[in-house]
Amino acid sequence: MRIRRQAFEQKISKEVEKMVNESRFSMTRDFIQHGDVSVFVHCICVAYMSCVITRVLNIRVNLSALIVGALLHDYFLYDWHDGELCRKVHGFTHPFKACKNAKEDFELSYLEENIIKRHMFPLVPVPPRYREAWVVCLADKICATEETLMGHCKGRKMEFAKELLDKNSIFEED
Ligand SMILES: [Fe+2]
Ligand SMILES: [Fe+2]
């Protein structure tokens, strides 16, 4: 059965709220990914796009793992535009940094780990192992392309990500 838009929006929203309250996820608001888009908004757009892909192609997935993996796929928690020498290899190394950080804050399943570590295929030339990881890998490329070309993501996913950004700002401590 195809997942309904309302159902996956609710699931993403709940997961983001939990992550903001229980981890370092809110730090991702302070780092730019591509264009004008923060890592926070980018990751929500990728989670949204991943759900849309599974819906359109009618792929059976573990929806919770798909959403958690997508939200944490860029959990590297630094500014990759800061000019530091090690950032030259950011494209190759950040999936592993993201996975390491995520494992410090969450109990990840093997599937969720694979989604995070393999999202940069084919730049990192080890392919994803699971359907969910392939979906996130594709969704990330679609979102990154839109952000790079237009400065933001297109359509409902961007609107939804902004809604969650506003909604979760009330949890800021300072
Ligand atoms: Fe990434
Ligand atoms: Fe990404």
Ligand nearest to the CA of 91: 1
Query: Ligand 1 centroid vs 113 CA: distance in angstroms?
Result: 13
> Which ligand sits nearest to residue 123's alpha carbon?
1
Ligand nearest to the CA of 94: 1
Nearest ligand to residue 145 Cα: 2
Rg (the chain; Cα; Å):
15
Angle (deg, nearest 10), helices 63-72 and 131-150? 40
Ligand (nearest to CA of 34): 2
Distance 59 CA to ligand 1 centre (A): 23
Q: pTM to 2 decimals?
A: 0.95
Express each pLDDT in 89-126 by its tens digit.
999 999 999 999 999 999 999 999 999 999 999 999 99
What is the CA angle 132-136-139, rounded to 5?
135
Q: Find the length of the chain.
A: 174
- For residue 32, the tally of other CB atoms under 10 A from its CB is 15
| Contact between 69 and 133 (Cβ < 8 Å) | yes
Dist. CA 44 → ligand 2 center (Å): 10
Closest ligand by atom to 49 CA? 2
Check residue 36 and give its pLDDT: 86
Terminal alpha carbon distance of the chain: 43
Gap between the Cα atoms of 50 and 144, Å rounded: 13
Each residue of 28-75: pLDDT tens digit?
Answer: 999 999 988 999 999 999 999 999 999 999 999 999 999 999 999 999
CA 125 to ligand 1 center in whole angstroms: 14
Q: Ligand 1 centroid vs 114 CA: distance in angstroms?
A: 13
The HSE-up count of residue 170 (CA atoms within 13 Å, CB side) is 5
Per-position DSSP letters for 132-167, written without gaps between them: HHHHHHHHHHHHHHHHHHHSS--HHHHHHHHHHHHH
